[in-house]
Chain A
Amino acid sequence: MTETRVHFYQVGSFAVGNRLLSDADRTVQASQERTNSLDAGHRACQGCGEALGARYALDAAMRATGGRLVAVNATGCLEVFSTPFPETSWRIAWLHSLFGNAPAVATGVAAAMRAKGRDDVRVVGQAGDGGTVDIGFGALSGMFERNDDVLFICYDNEGYMNTGVQRSAATPPTARTATSEARGPEPGNVFGQGKDLPRIAMAHDIPYVATATVADLHDLERKVERAMTFRGARYLHVLVPCPLGWGAASADTVRLARLAAESGFFPVFEAEHGVVTGVRRIRRRVGVEEYLRPQRRFAHLFAGEGRPDLVARLQALADANVERYGLAPEEE
């Protein structure tokens, strides 16, 4: 496994400061030439992680493909807030069909381009976690299995936020949602359920699978760029905090995404043809509590006497991630 040594730090964060980098190493977002694929004026909430993630990913994909890109969107927040017609925030060719079929629609677009001899046009499918791990799962698995030439991006905010914060198969244990209320002996979402879609994607032996967060722009952009060097099915799973659904401050979106990774609760790695080829090692490890406390969806874990037993079980999940992917900081 490889790791990237980071040389530059901004004050107060671990992100790389663009001003200290050579032009070639700067992010796409830092460039005035970026597409602004998802342009200003959309109706996302303040601090929306998905809006950030989508613009980061698509701008990077646009650069990687020289602007030869079509995006297919599942129903969900991203679709609703981006196209309040007669306005649209999309500066790229964009199609929305249904909630559960975005991977298959993307396959169709790719097939059409191939049939027309327009192989230069690349296709990105995108959905939230509901459209990916739940209702779109069958279509996604089919697209993976056929190795169709599509990069599918899941913007994972761990629940059905568009319909009012209900539980999905990507909701973490103990998290309160409108369909997993913080009541009873097992408050919030229960342990022992849920899908680990990056690993399921890897089990399809597709060329490229990666996870990323909106806290690490360089890493996210590099993975999109890497994904675009492959033909065939590729999967990128981006953690995008949701201030509304998580009960967090809008200003904390990037901080929470970073804490998710730095606690090991959300493992950041990449894999090629089913084998892990790189991980983003934790630089300064934090306990899960530091990640959980700022989020009201976990408030019941800390109210009154709290539920240290449940926090310990969540910590165990993070520890298992650190173990599985070798995420521990070098000094540990």
Chain B
Amino acid sequence: MLQQLEGSRAIAETVARCRPEVVCAYPISPQTHIIEAIGAMVKDGRLAPCEFINVESEYAAMSVSIGASAAGARSYTATASQGLLFMIEAVYNAAGLGLPVVMTLANRAIGAPINIWNDHSDAMAVRDAGWIQLFAETNQEAADLHVQAFRLAEALSVPVMVCMDGFILTHAVEAVDLVDQAVVDSFLPPYEPRQVLDPDDPVSIGAMVGPEAFEEVRYLAHLRQLDALELIPSVAEEFAALTGRASGGLVHPYRLEDADTVIVAMGSVLGTIKDAVDARREAGERVGVLGVAAFRPFPVAAVADALRRARRVIVVEKAFSLGMGGVLATDVATASPASGPDLATVVAGLGGRPITRRDVEGIIERSARGTLPRLSFLNLDEDVVARERARMAASRRSGPFAENVLRDVAAGGAHR
């Protein structure tokens, strides 16, 4: 049944139907509405048995999740941005211990400068932590992915992070069809841990591993990620058979049949990109879209297959590696054949800057004309940058540069 729901509410309702037994909450925008709603459900008894714990930090949120999961409980938490960085030691630890925690990441920029709006810098910062990272395009997909996330996590003993764009999805109200409780229950069997803390069968978990076995243990974790490459599509297919919805999977190809130009992206911007591609298709251009739904494990074979006919590939991504360039683009390049397509990276939407359909059409036009550089930053105000560079060159004590830029932008009129 379709309902008008805020994205966060849809996530909370769906997570509740997955029957988590321990939920940790530490508030950070734009994740707050999710944990507030779950907390209310626990408080009024709608979600039971479930322990809802208001912790003192994100570090504790992930640590409590680790303890709960190791004791055999289905465990969930949510965070964003700085919160993810604050818990990062425990994020790696949950994966290293093979604990199937599920976490929503309401994607948000990382400071400094402090910024609460959306980009993908936070998710990229834990790319190598050993978590499965799934990216949602819509609130419907975000909700559906949580059901799949628990299934994947528990099947593989690997934690799963469902990434959804902060504010753009978390705070958007749109029609969502929540998965029925009965469907969730049939899809998601009770959690049966591989390893569990139990006085009746005491084991030691978390031993030190030296050079004699560390590589093998890490390689096993890599193999579990590769197993996920097999399991993610089959779980998505099973889910589709039950719900009729193509949520999840490894990649989402769109109008790729004869496309010679393909835009690759993740998350909610795919909707805008598809609109732009539809418009260019009507103008007779052969363009298509490849949405990457599973970023870790990275679906090298699926991406390679989807791009095999492309002559130009444009990666539009909401994060970048300073001093290098695109992060997603690097993985896409790895998946592309050596004699492959021209690959351009467009860093866009940083700190919540809008990406419009017109912007995307402009990117496609520049690519067609051969004027799209290998690395570019969408709608970058180069005048503002040049003026700050000039100030820095003119005076050693040029001052705090973020503040200088803000003052300059305010004085000179907004950047678009």
List chain A positions with a Cβ less than 8 A from chain B: 67-70, 72-73, 79-80, 83-85, 88, 90-98, 100-101, 104-117, 121, 138-139, 141-142, 145-146, 148
Contact = CB atoms under 8 A, between A and B. Distances in A.
8 contacts: A85-B204, A94-B197, A98-B89, A108-B75, A109-B68, A111-B68, A115-B50, A116-B71
Majority secondary structure, A binding face: mixed
Given A111-B22, A111-B53, A93 B73 contact: no
Nearest to B23: A111
B71 A138 contact: no
Nearest to A69: B199
Interface in B25-82: 49-51, 53-57, 59-60, 63-73, 75
B390 to A, nearest CB: 44
Contacts of A113: 71
Contact of B21 (A95, A115, A121, A139): A115
A134 to B, nearest CB: 14
Contacts of B204: 83, 85, 88, 90, 94-96
Interface stretch (B148-156, B177-185, B206-214, B248-256): B206-214
Nearest to B73: A112
Contacts of B207: 83-85, 88, 96
B330 interface: no
A95 B67 contact: yes
Contact of B22 (A83, A88, A112): A112
Contacts of A98: 63, 89-90, 93
A100 B56 CA distance: 13
B411 interface: no
Contacts of B24: 108
Contacts of A109: 67-68, 70-71, 197
Given A83-B207, A107-B55, A107-B63, 15 more contacts: A73-B206, A84-B207, A94-B197, A95-B67, A95-B70, A96-B207, A97-B97, A104-B60, A107-B60, A108-B63, A108-B67, A108-B69, A111-B53, A112-B21, A142-B57
A180 B209 CA distance: 31
Given A97-B67, A115-B22, A79 B53 contact: no
B208 A107 contact: no
A148 B53 CA distance: 10
Contacts of B70: 95, 97, 105, 108-109, 112
B198 interface: yes
A62 B57 CA distance: 31
Nearest to B50: A115
B56 A95 contact: no
A115 B73 contact: yes
A95 B68 CA distance: 11
Given A83-B208, A97-B66, A112-B22, A104 B55 contact: yes
A69 B73 CA distance: 17
B214 to A, nearest CB: 11
A48 to B, nearest CB: 17
Contacts of B205: 94-96
A111 B70 CA distance: 11
Given A115-B22, A117-B49, A142 B208 contact: no
B112 interface: no
B386 interface: no
Contacts of B64: 104-105, 107-108, 111
Nearest to A117: B49
Contacts, number: 162
B203 interface: yes
A109 B73 CA distance: 9
A107 B97 CA distance: 18
Between B56, B59, B69, B201, the greatest number of chain A beta carbons within 10 A of the residue's beta carbon is seen for B56
A80 to B, nearest CB: 6
B38 to A, nearest CB: 14
A99 to B, nearest CB: 9
B202 interface: yes
Contacts of B49: 114-117
A117 B49 CA distance: 9
Contacts of B51: 111-112, 114-115
Contacts of A73: 206
Nearest to A113: B71
A260 B50 CA distance: 46
Between B55, B64, B73, the greatest number of chain A beta carbons within 10 A of the residue's beta carbon is seen for B64
A93 B199 contact: yes
A126 to B, nearest CB: 13
B63 A105 contact: yes
Contacts of A72: 67
Nearest to A95: B205
Given A68-B199, A83-B208, A142-B56, A112 B67 contact: yes
B411 to A, nearest CB: 42
B197 A97 contact: no
Contact of A93 (B59, B75, B90, B197): B197
When A and B form their complex, which 5 residue pairs have the shortest distance between CB atoms, in order from nearest? A108-B67, A96-B206, A142-B56, A112-B73, A112-B71
A111 B73 contact: yes
Nearest to A106: B67
Nearest to A66: B199
B22 A108 contact: yes
Contact of B60 (A88, A112, A138): A138
A25 to B, nearest CB: 27
A108 B56 contact: no
A111 to B, nearest CB: 4
B94 to A, nearest CB: 9
Between A83, A98, A117, A146, the greatest number of chain B beta carbons within 10 A of the residue's beta carbon is seen for A98
A92 B90 contact: no
A146 to B, nearest CB: 7
B208 A80 contact: yes
B243 to A, nearest CB: 28
Given A68-B199, A97-B90, A100-B59, A146 B53 contact: yes
A69 B199 CA distance: 6
Contact of B59 (A96, A104, A114): A104
A109 B199 CA distance: 12
Contacts of B22: 108, 111-112, 115
A116 B69 contact: no
A106 B64 CA distance: 7
A142 B55 contact: yes
Contacts of A145: 56
A45 B207 CA distance: 19
